[in-house]
Structure 1
């Protein structure tokens, strides 16, 4: 790489920032509402007849956000929201008119799910920084959904404890909410000013209306928050909660049955008004969703989705910069055993047990976000057997290890931040240690029209010696109007490695990219929206310099007035590709012929009982007989508001691809292969009510690989036929999973889950197996059958105090006792 060029780009980037930040800011009108303190709390029942609502101010005059941005809400859908507060929290009473209340859409889903539903939601920002809000949604079916929204990006893994009720009446429907102060973060001030927005989804017409108008031509959603005034002299309660759990498993595998009993606890503690400690003690992730495992023939490991709740909830700070891949914590051991010629592995663990973990996160009044994460995993052994003597021994493949992260994230302006992230892995003894640090800048000018971004990261791996690598990028984007533009440059050195706590794949490159996009800001003709995107990327190898790839991409998306979605695109690499990764040896590369790729998709209206998603994707290479075809079909059928079914099938047929096989006598061996993959998945849900659900999911993955001839990789990247290599590399892999889960949210924050799981897999060195024999091979393998029950119960410190002491004198929600009589406070709680 020409580092002088990169320094020039970086300097130019900084100059752009100084110019941008000096621009005059457009005035963005912010709606305001001043709310009163009440003495007697309303009953949360979906009926606004309590005294507290009589003289409450009304937030009204909602404005359409989608699809006709800026259009006033029609009188037939008038939406009025009353807002009041007391020493416990803030209350919302929304009256949502509907001329045909019998047609209000109210599909039942599990908590944190939205189906074919009308819904009402509130966005609250206690720090009024127009960057991060808490989102509270209730559907017309009474289902709760909550999330953290940061600059328009939603994190639904966050779960709060709040109260809501809905009721459909002759004029439409009513949504009533109570949000305790324990769920909101706000500064320790006598006078509060919070950011607020509210929205209503009118599902029959798929229109969305917001209280504070949103301009979709520029800026993120959150910069258009309105403001709440009038909240004074309130105190956040003691934020301390416990969630103990008990779980029991009966597992049967290969004729052996074991019973496992677990117990542990999650803890949350509000260190102060801004910072929270989350800790998991004796964790149990046995009921996590199964991984969608695949037969991986690529040069890089498969990156799986995180399904463990502790690692998904409240982690928005820790994902800054993508240095943290949480599956590393408790993932695969870091070492493979040293074996003698007569030894073999008898048992090699696929994961490492987590002893405990905690995270501390929050944001100061000066908008500095601080995050600290720490986890400890236990020493793990592999069992090794001598095949001649039968003796066994154990070898450490993962020592006691500590994983930690520090994040500092300073926000400023409406949409800008500078962040520092450090990750560190320390392993006991002479095992590998690692450290990675990154500095990130994301700056938006005062007009919210131009975004500038840059980052620089370094990685250090300490094993026999220290290995250092780095990556960086810088770019600029026009983010307003119908026409959007961006350009950037990014690079990674050969030794960049964050894989002890993060995930990195491609290294040793510099890439230049440019983008142009066009979109409709308002519906036109028969289209509600239109997106056209053009992308160009040019990549070279850094060490030693060599052309890698030039790629052009066009893609499009359209939605009609009838909500039929469709689109497609085209991609090409006109000069072919030099692939540095497939040979698996530094300095080597494989010549891949140029290709063109076309695709198309469509999606029908999800308001209908039957909906359908279809995707077709075809790659054609400039090589005789080489192509890849992908077809996906996903019908969805809603039998009723309680029962629905989903089916998805995906097939991939790849012919005459060149793939790495192995290394033989210092030769890098490649094979010409055909690969066929079929994935079928079925899911059905029966939702009894807004707290109880039965969910069935099934996935079968099948992939076969058949080799026709073998080659030796040449220094110039070409392949020379190798007639001496004759190992059988054909393979067929099956993976089968069934989950049947019953969930019951029997109290706020408390859940009972009963799960039946069946799983099996097979791998054979054969291909072109007929359907019957393939399933015979699969069902002949040992299968896991597991039944588990897990019960967790949410305990709030303030309620525990009420249980321990005299209920009439207890302080059940932990606010200042001097504010109102204790009996009145307890009466409020009973009405919830």
Structure 2
């Protein structure tokens, strides 16, 4: 491979960032606090408690945006006190028109209306912090900040207390944060980093206590300092949260199916807990976790064969997930490789790998679990005062069995083995966090128990990586390097299946650098990323390369889209952040990409430019155009030879109205078109956001997508000793509508509704076969249309006369489809005491296959609330014991 060319591209593009502005550092402000000398303040929003007189107000907030470093529209002040157990904060947010203070409500972490927050870097590592936000309406928000402000995790849910009041001068707030919810080391006197931000809603203004320039890289490293905390002891947190859940499901009974009687019920119990091993390291654990109140995944169906990435929604795996993150690339330019990572928590507790289906015609019925049961899981995580970040996760999932009923006689067959998952992550800060060195190790071990039915699974899978982040020039310049490896072990059947899987395709006839080893019982591969960036000033850029060797395999516990590729990427931008009469802010971006396989063949080239702006009237918009001038796919024929795809353009645009208004809407579209109309993609989406009252919000988001391709893969088969790769013209149309409703009875008592009907229909015609020149320049060079093809509607089968001898040579099934899905849940959530919750849940789901020849809306209306709907009613109660 011509690696010298890649190195030249990488180094030459760094000059793009040399014009980045170099700013002198802004002096850090210092706020002094004292220990409470009398009674602690009562947390009621009234800041008249005598103890608040011990310390002076600290004000002089400055605008962060829109007019950076200028005086704020309204003045803000804060005070901080502490005692042996808690940190206390008081705010005075002045407002000349208190009747116009926006007191919208939302569920926790909604950040509605006017709000104020404090960020506390109690580690004082200049990299991470704990954020506590309180809105004028009393809604709490909390986030864990990591990577110097590049990651804000709102799934961190500590126990703390806050109240607000509105008066003739504006509004006030009081906060009590137990020290057990923070992490800090041992010291005689502490210095913590702090930052406070106020949102002044009417002007969409952000004011900060510690001034910070808008284009500076980093956030936590720019905090001011809190001085004066003495003689406090490390708080070893102990939290136990048992739960009990009662669930009843109702559905349509199926005649003859003993497993579909129309209803079932169950009661479960479990336990979540957290123990502070030290003040900065905690052990989280769960026994028989229940995720019945978790929102369902959105509908998705694609035809390209690649895996679909779904975000994690289960609380145990969400909290502290930043510690376990090992995303391989994270390129600003984007790309399919951006979703690759060593740890993808959705692998734990997923659907069983072995699939056994019912056959009612043969009186063969199967009761198969939808998901693998998580028997237990534990996480040991935290960060020491010396800058060592540690994360260890261990989980065990149950051996799952399917029950098979044949005319009343029942047997059981294994569908998933007992499995142990392990993840270990360490990172060490140097140079005050400007250099971070880390590593990760994952392991999956399955007890296959000599079950021949599970021989297709890996018996064990291991992966690991080393990573380095180095920042210099006041954090403006960043170098990132990651190198990783994987090894999977199993039967020769399992390893051959991996070599032939969609992500690898060793069987490709034109891949001379690849060869299937039918005797191998292990497979080992590598991958990595190197990139350099400048994020400071008006001109910024990032460029680098990332690779996946053909043998790399991460999908036992990680997420891997593709292998056998080396990608080069570049992203650059110019930012205008000072408002004028037209824009509040404006940004222009440029990207380009190129890809090679490990034989050195160039597979892909594309360039893109786009812009994003917020207008003076608070509307926002953006548009972009991408040109692909080379696209050769090694996956399109599912193990067949490389296939040239046509060059083409893609255009995207969006428009959003003022987010402060009680009626908002947004529109977006993507239009893709290739040469000679071989491929056409149309996508339309939008939303309308309604705020009829402060307590209620409604969001309705429809979308319509149409995907047309003349060369869509259908199937492959043998004929006269050769492979036939069958393709067709496909017309796929997809409609979805997502509805969300939130109603706050109080800040701690909410009703939430989510619903999404989804339908995707695909119809195929103009069937063809790939020629012996799949890299030809024209469609006719690459494909030959079938002239002698007939369709048997009774058997739903196409038959083809391939050699013009007036006899059918082979046949294949009708690939048309019409998939209909409906998912919804209605949740009443009551946090009756901080950290303890009651859930009342009604969820409804339905899947159906409709007639592909019917219209989309008709198919949707006929199947949306059909007889196959499943209703689940659930009551779940938790109680959080805190010591």
TM > 0.5 between the two? Answer: yes
Residue 407 in structure 1 maps to residue 406 in structure 2: no
Partner of 2:505: none
Partner of 2:342: 323
User: 1:565 touches 1:604 (CA, 8 Å); kept in 2?
Assistant: yes
Partner deviation per Cα, 1:217-248 (whole Å, 9 max, x = no partner): 22211111111111111013331011111111
User: 1:281 touches 1:357 (CA, 8 Å); kept in 2?
Assistant: yes
User: 1:540 touches 1:547 (CA, 8 Å); kept in 2?
Assistant: yes
CA distance in 2, matches of 1:489, 1:60: 46
1:770 offset after TM fit, Å?
6.1
Partner of 1:109: 106
CA RMSD of aligned residues (A): 2.5
Residue 435 in structure 1 maps to residue 492 in structure 2: no
In structure 2, do the counterparts of structure 1 residues 4 and 407 end up closer, same or farther at CA, with 3 Å as the change threshold? Answer: farther
Partner deviation per Cα, 1:78-117 (whole Å, 9 max, x = no partner): 11111111112211111111000000001011112122x1
In structure 2, do the counterparts of structure 1 residues 45 and 535 end up closer, same or farther at CA, with 3 Å as the change threshold? Answer: same
CA distance in 2, matches of 1:741, 1:415: 44
CA distance in 2, matches of 1:390, 1:663: 39
CA distance in 1, matches of 2:696, 2:33: 41
Residue 721 in structure 1 maps to residue 785 in structure 2: yes
User: 1:472 touches 1:492 (CA, 8 Å); kept in 2?
Assistant: yes
CA distance in 2, matches of 1:50, 1:770: 64
Partner deviation per Cα, 1:176-225 (whole Å, 9 max, x = no partner): 11111101100022221111111111000110011111122222111111
Partner deviation per Cα, 1:507-565 (whole Å, 9 max, x = no partner): 111111112201113223321100110000011222x3322111111111110122010
Partner of 1:562: 617
**The one of 418, 437, 440 aligned to 1:418:** 437
Partner of 1:578: 632
CA distance in 2, matches of 1:706, 1:96: 60
CA distance in 2, matches of 1:499, 1:362: 27
Residue 332 in structure 1 maps to residue 418 in structure 2: no
CA distance in 1, matches of 2:227, 2:179: 16
CA distance in 2, matches of 1:337, 1:699: 28
1:396 offset after TM fit, Å?
1.9
Partner of 1:659: 712
1:259 offset after TM fit, Å?
1.4
Partner deviation per Cα, 1:119-156 (whole Å, 9 max, x = no partner): 01000011111110000000000011001011212000
Partner deviation per Cα, 1:738-776 (whole Å, 9 max, x = no partner): 211111111000111111111101124633446435533
CA distance in 1, matches of 2:239, 2:416: 33
Classify the secondary structure of the residue corresponding to 2:203: coil
Match runs of 1:622-633 below 5 Å? 622-624=675-677, 626-633=679-686
CA distance in 2, matches of 1:349, 1:257: 16
Residue 314 in structure 1 maps to residue 320 in structure 2: yes
Partner of 1:373: 393
In structure 2, do the counterparts of structure 1 residues 774 and 687 end up closer, same or farther at CA, with 3 Å as the change threshold? Answer: closer
User: 1:731 touches 1:767 (CA, 8 Å); kept in 2?
Assistant: no
1:573 offset after TM fit, Å?
0.7
Partner of 2:286: 280
CA distance in 2, matches of 1:773, 1:220: 51
1:590 offset after TM fit, Å?
2.2
1:257 offset after TM fit, Å?
1.2
Partner of 2:85: 88
CA distance in 1, matches of 2:191, 2:650: 53
CA distance in 1, matches of 2:355, 2:686: 41
CA distance in 1, matches of 2:97, 2:292: 46
Partner deviation per Cα, 1:582-632 (whole Å, 9 max, x = no partner): 2221x6222210110112111000111110110021101112364111111
User: 1:660 touches 1:669 (CA, 8 Å); kept in 2?
Assistant: yes
Classify the secondary structure of the residue corresponding to 1:437: strand
User: 2:682 touches 2:707 (CA, 8 Å); kept in 1?
Assistant: yes
Classify the secondary structure of the residue corresponding to 2:322: coil
Classify the secondary structure of the residue corresponding to 1:231: strand
Partner deviation per Cα, 1:437-480 (whole Å, 9 max, x = no partner): 01111211142221111111111111121111111111111111
Partner of 2:122: 126
In structure 2, do the counterparts of structure 1 residues 51 and 378 end up closer, same or farther at CA, with 3 Å as the change threshold? Answer: same
Runs of 5+ unmatched residues, structure 2: 254-261, 328-340, 451-456, 492-520, 775-781, 790-799, 801-810
**The one of 499, 510, 516 aligned to 2:566:** 510
Match runs of 1:750-761 below 5 Å? 750-761=836-847
User: 2:6 touches 2:568 (CA, 8 Å); kept in 1?
Assistant: no
1:416 offset after TM fit, Å?
3.5
1:36 offset after TM fit, Å?
1.1
Residue 230 in structure 1 maps to residue 242 in structure 2: no
CA distance in 2, matches of 1:2, 1:394: 56
Larger mean Cα displacement after TM superposition, 96-105 or 734-743: 734-743
Partner deviation per Cα, 1:159-192 (whole Å, 9 max, x = no partner): 0111111100000010111111101100022221
In structure 2, do the counterparts of structure 1 residues 720 and 545 end up closer, same or farther at CA, with 3 Å as the change threshold? Answer: farther
Residue 549 in structure 1 maps to residue 604 in structure 2: yes
Classify the secondary structure of the residue corresponding to 2:414: strand
Classify the secondary structure of the residue corresponding to 1:352: coil
User: 1:223 touches 1:415 (CA, 8 Å); kept in 2?
Assistant: no
Partner of 1:737: 823
Partner of 1:810: none
Partner of 2:795: none
**The one of 393, 402, 414 aligned to 1:396:** 414
CA distance in 2, matches of 1:6, 1:470: 19
1:498 offset after TM fit, Å?
0.5
1:383 offset after TM fit, Å?
4.2
1:658 offset after TM fit, Å?
2.6
Match runs of 1:775-790 below 5 Å? 775-790=861-876
CA distance in 2, matches of 1:106, 1:338: 53
Partner of 2:331: none
TM-score of the pair, normalised by structure 2 = 0.85
Partner deviation per Cα, 1:309-362 (whole Å, 9 max, x = no partner): 10111111111333111110001223457999x997834433211000010001
In structure 2, do the counterparts of structure 1 residues 203 and 745 end up closer, same or farther at CA, with 3 Å as the change threshold? Answer: same
CA distance in 2, matches of 1:405, 1:773: 45
Partner of 1:792: 878
User: 1:337 touches 1:395 (CA, 8 Å); kept in 2?
Assistant: no
Match runs of 1:284-295 below 5 Å? 284-295=290-301
Classify the secondary structure of the residue corresponding to 2:293: coil
CA distance in 1, matches of 2:542, 2:25: 25
In structure 2, do the counterparts of structure 1 residues 338 and 598 end up closer, same or farther at CA, with 3 Å as the change threshold? Answer: closer
Partner of 1:829: none
TM-score of the pair, normalised by structure 1 = 0.90
Runs of 5+ unmatched residues, structure 1: 798-832
1:301 offset after TM fit, Å?
2.2
CA distance in 2, matches of 1:748, 1:670: 58
CA distance in 1, matches of 2:574, 2:9: 26
**The one of 264, 267, 270 aligned to 1:261:** 267
CA distance in 2, matches of 1:25, 1:647: 44
In structure 2, do the counterparts of structure 1 residues 90 and 304 end up closer, same or farther at CA, with 3 Å as the change threshold? Answer: same
Partner of 1:448: 475
